[in-house]
Amino acid sequence: MKKLIAFLSMWAAAAVMAADLPVPALIPAPVSLARQAGEFRINAGTSIAVQSEELDAIGQDLALRLRRVTGFKIPVLKASSNRAALNRIVIGLRADAGLPADGYLLTVSRQSVALGAATPAGAFHGVQTLLQLLPKEVEGDAVARQLKWAMPAVVIRDHPRFGWRGLMLDVSRHFFSVAEVKDFIDQMAKYKFNLLHWHLTDDQGWRIEIKSRPRLTEVGAWRVGKVGRFGSFAPPAADEARDYGGFYTQEQAREIVAYAKARHIDVMPEVDMPGHSLAALAAYPELACEPGSFAVNAGEPLLVWPVGGHLSSLVDNTLCPANEKVYEFARQVFSELAQLFPFEYVHMGGDETARNFWAKSEAIKGLMEREKLPNFNAVQAYFVTRLQKIIAAEGKKMMGWDEILEGGLVPEAAVMSWRGLKGGIEAARLGHQVVMSPNDFVYLDLMQGDAVLEAPVYGTVRLSKTYQFEPLPEGVDARRVLGGQANLWTEQIYNQRQLQYMTWPRALAVAETLWSPKEHKRWEGFVPRVEAHFERLTAAGVKYAPSLYDPAFKASEKPPGPLMVELSSEVAGLSLHYSFDGSLPDQFYPAYTAPLAVPKDAQQLKVISYRDGKPLGRLMVMPVAELRRRLAAR
Residue 308's φ and ψ, nearest 5 degrees, are 80, 5
| Cα distance between residue 357 and residue 150, in whole Å | 64
Given 174, 264, 276, 347, which residue is catalytic? Answer: 276
Q: Are 105 and 97 in contact (CB under 8 A)?
A: yes
C-alpha span between 59 and 47 (Å, rounded): 10
User: Rounded to an integer, what distance in angstroms lies between the CA atom of residue 498 and that of residue 232?
Assistant: 20
Cβ-based neighbour number of residue 141 at 10 Å: 10
What is the Cα–Cα distance from 442 to 461, expressed in whole angstroms?
8
Rounded distance between C-alpha atoms, residue 90 and residue 146, angstroms? 25
**Residue 368: closest CA among 289, 305, 439, 444:** 289
Q: Residue 319 carries which side chain, given as an amino acid letter?
A: L
3-class SS shares of the chain: helix, strand, coil, % to 5: 35, 20, 45
How far apart are the C-alpha atoms of 12 and 32, rounded to whole Å?
Answer: 21
Annotated active-site residue in 102, 139, 170, 202: 202
For 134, other C-beta atoms within 10 Å of its C-beta total 22
141 part of the active site: no
Q: Strands 481-488 and 563-568: what pairing?
A: unpaired
Pick the catalytic residue from 158, 316, 336, 352: 352
Question: Would residue 240 show up in a list of annotated catalytic residues for this protein?
Answer: no
Q: Name, in order, each residue with C-beta under 8 angstroms of 385's C-beta and a sequence gap of 6 or more.
A: 410
Q: What is the DSSP string of 123-144?
A: HHHHHHHHHHHS-GGGGSSS--
H-only helix segments in 134-227: 178-190, 215-218
3-state secondary structure 536-583: HHHHCCCCCCCHHHCCEEEEEECCCCCEEEEEECCCCCCEEEEECCCC
Asked about 202 being catalytic, the answer comes back as yes
Residue 367 and residue 287: Cα distance in Å, rounded? 15
Judge whether 99 and 26 are in contact, CB under 8 Å. Answer: no
SS (H, E, C) 31-55: CEEEEEEEEEECCCCCEEEECCHHH
List, by residue number, the catalytic residues: 202, 276, 352
